[in-house]
Structure 1
Amino acid sequence: MANVYGYIRVSTKEQNEQRQLNKMIDKGVEARRIFVDKASGKDFNRPQYQTLRRVLGEGDLVYIDALDRMGRNYDEVISEWKYITRELQADIIVLENETLFDSRKFREMGDMGRLMEDQFLSLLSYVADQERKKIRQRQAEGIAAAKAQNKHLGRPQLNVDTLSEEQRKILNDNYNRWKEKEITGVQFAALLNLKKNSFYKIVKQYEESTN
């Protein structure tokens, strides 16, 4: 008897898979037949995907929310798609666009359907590859532009000048109290909302600027 499965992938542990899970349940997929990976889509070395691959059989059906949930390396996506639909004789439906991504429709068309499926997947691979190149180019251009303008990439450097107006007032009002041991360093740092290392760095800069 054919089985219906669902495959879910989110890129990080912080991302929530609930939206994809709801879609699978709405399609009637049993919870025990839904496989979830929290991993990058750069390749298919994912434990739950590999388990799904092993249990799939002829006539089975796999639901995937979107093609990039299957993977982001589209040459490998095409290879996996063909393995599942042609070697295993199972089927795939991509919920994001069921009209186009339903392998059963290509199968029903016989040899002509296989030819159309090959062309469709090749076109998809080309478009995805071009998009990846554009993204990499935009990232490289952004980094180059930031470097050219002498911008710091990442968090702003903490110094006296980057303190808020309120923090600078607290620093001015309480510096002498701290030096005269009316308050401790821990208390002073808490007033400034700074961690220990940041506090001593700021105090040193403040002393240098006022001497």
Structure 2
Amino acid sequence: MTTYGYARISTKKQSIERQIRNILNYDNNAIIYQERYTGTKVSGRKEFKKLLSKVKEGDTIVFDSVSRMSRDSIEGTELYFELFNKGVELVFLKENYINTTTYKKALNNNIQLTNTAVDSILKGVNEYLVTLAKEQIKIAFEQAEKEVKDLQERTKEGIETARQQGKQIGQAKGKKLVVKKSAEAKEKIVKYSKDFKGTLSDVEVMKLVGLSRNTYYKYKKELREEL
């Protein structure tokens, strides 16, 4: 049985060293996988995919927080139960109420039936406790996703406020690509790229949005820093 740790940051303002330190404080022998400036989805994270290919039944993966695993509620919840069913222990240092050990207790610590008429009520209570545990897991990932959306909205509002105040945003006037077009292009990248909310590859998004390779990767890097 092996303990792994996974740490990632999306922007330069975040500290991956802090995450690693927290994981090693939990288990000093943890094998750390780390990556910087990643998107929210698992598909764009090479190191995490390597870890997922190695982990097996009885192993443990430690995260500093649920948002480091995924900031997509559907993807995160599905991956949680996929790993749980595989027999992998999941530990979230900041949200230990959804650790797999906690979820197991909800499944196993059922109220004993009495072979009386009261059993119909007790069965309902047991089912409710399991449902509640599942809902807590789902809510944790939904909150992580909400934080990203709130940040995107604040960024969008900040850009619009600056524009209304007459401030220069992005490229200066006279350049080939003006602010409005760059903002629209970024919105499409977020919408269609598999590294954000979409399903398309980089080449497909470049063709769809009509961007050069250099401009596309420049915008993609800026988006990752914003997220």
Q: TM-score, normalised by structure 1?
A: 0.61
Corresponding position of 1:138: 154
Matched residue SS, 1:54: helix
Unaligned runs of 5+ in 2: 109-126, 174-227
Corresponding position of 2:163: 147
1:82-161 alignment runs, 5 A limit:
82-86=81-85, 88-98=86-96, 100-110=97-107, 112=127, 114-153=130-169
- After TM superposition, give the deviation of residue 44 of structure 1 in Å: 0.8
Question: For residues 149-176 of structure 1, what are the alpha-carbon distances to aligned partners after superposition, in whole Å with 9 as ceiling and x for unaligned?
Answer: 212225999xxxxxxxxxxxxxxxxxxx
Q: Relative to structure 1, is the Cα distance of residues 121 and 19 closer, same or farther in structure 2, using a 3 angstrom cutoff?
A: same
Contact 1:106 1:117 in 2 (8 A): yes
Distance 1:149 1:139 in 2: 15
Distance 1:13 1:138 in 2: 18
Q: Which stretch of the first structure deviates more once superposed, 75-84 or 108-117? A: 108-117
Question: For residues 41-85 of structure 1, what are the alpha-carbon distances to aligned partners after superposition, in whole Å with 9 as ceiling and x for unaligned?
Answer: 421131221111112111221110111111222221112111111
Distance 1:13 1:94 in 2: 23
Corresponding position of 1:64: 63
Contact 2:40 2:71 in 1 (8 A): yes
CA RMSD between the two structures: 2.8
Contact 1:35 1:48 in 2 (8 A): yes
Select the structure with the greater relative contact order (CA < 8 A; seq sep ≥ 6).
2
Distance 1:114 1:57 in 2: 25
Contact 1:41 1:71 in 2 (8 A): no
Unaligned runs of 5+ in 1: 158-211
Q: TM-score, normalised by structure 2?
A: 0.57
Question: For residues 97-122 of structure 1, what are the alpha-carbon distances to aligned partners after superposition, in whole Å with 9 as ceiling and x for unaligned?
Answer: 32x13111111221756423321133
Distance 1:81 1:21 in 2: 21
- After TM superposition, give the deviation of residue 124 of structure 1 in Å: 2.9
Distance 1:51 1:57 in 2: 12
Q: Relative to structure 1, is the Cα distance of residues 123 and 19 closer, same or farther in structure 2, using a 3 angstrom cutoff?
A: closer
Identity %: 23
Distance 1:24 1:30 in 2: 10
Residue 4, structure 1, aligned to residue 3, structure 2: yes
